[in-house]
Amino acid sequence: MRFRHAGAIWSGHPELTAGALWATGIGAAADVGPRVAEYTARAAARPAGATESEFPEVLAWRRAFSRMGLKPTQYRCASESLLRRLRKKGELPRIHPVVALCNARSVAYAVPVAVLDTDRIAGPLLEVRYARGDEHYTIFGGGTEHPQPGEVPFTDSVGRVHARRWAKRQSGYSAVGERTCRILVVTEAMHDGGAEVVPELLNTVAEELAAHWPTDPAAAFLTSSAPEFVFGG
């Protein structure tokens, strides 16, 4: 299986930095509560009085969304939505432990982190690209939507969309669940300093996965000159 951003994405968003990680042996029984608490506390320790919309990491995504014709207050990137929930409710959603762990890392670094069940992705390619409009997307309630032409989804080889509006919303089809064993983690940043943050975030996710599950993750930092991550057997 291969994961990549299309060349048009790199040329249209030269500030993009990205990384991907693949891990096996992921189950639903791990206790990640203490680690999640540590990472959410780090997010809460941001300067008092500053809301998530003022964070440089979030502002950079807001600018990218604006270039795509999306209103930043209507369509928030995943990390901004999580930070907003944390600020308002004081906690993150309690779901599968690997998702909880990656969500906590997302708010700690203020950048989006997606987690996908790779057994639900049709290979050989998962690509972040501009949509044609004929792709299909499964919402969590079970219905189907079609991305607008020019939108940026994560699309597999049969035209199934696994995330809409780039770093906004994942599909219910490949969401991590009780039967998940193999995962793909993707993190992306748009802000100055992203080239330092993304590898650090990937390394810490790999360390956490290895500490809580019997796995030896493989990871790669992606660039316009080396845009592809090959994973799986």
pLDDT digits (tens, 9 = 90+) for 23-82: 999 999 999 999 999 999 999 888 766 789 999 999 999 999 998 888 888 889 999 999
Contact predicate 79/46, CB 8 Å: no
SS3 222: strand
**Domain extent listing, the chain:** 2-230
- Tell me the residue type at 231: F
| C-alpha to C-alpha distance for 180 and 195, rounded to whole angstroms | 30
pLDDT digits (tens, 9 = 90+) for 95-144: 899 999 999 999 999 999 999 999 999 999 999 999 999 999 988 777 88
The pLDDT value given to residue 49:
66
The pLDDT value given to residue 64:
94
The residue with greater pLDDT, 224 or 50, is 224
- Neighbouring C-beta atoms of residue 31, cutoff 10 Å: 9
> What's the CATH number for 2-230?
3.50.40.10
Which position has the token pair 């291969």? 2
The pLDDT value given to residue 177:
94
Query: What number of residues does the chain have?
Result: 233
What is the overall mean pLDDT for the chain? Answer: 94
Rounded to 10 deg, the angle between the 78-89 and 97-109 helix axes is 90
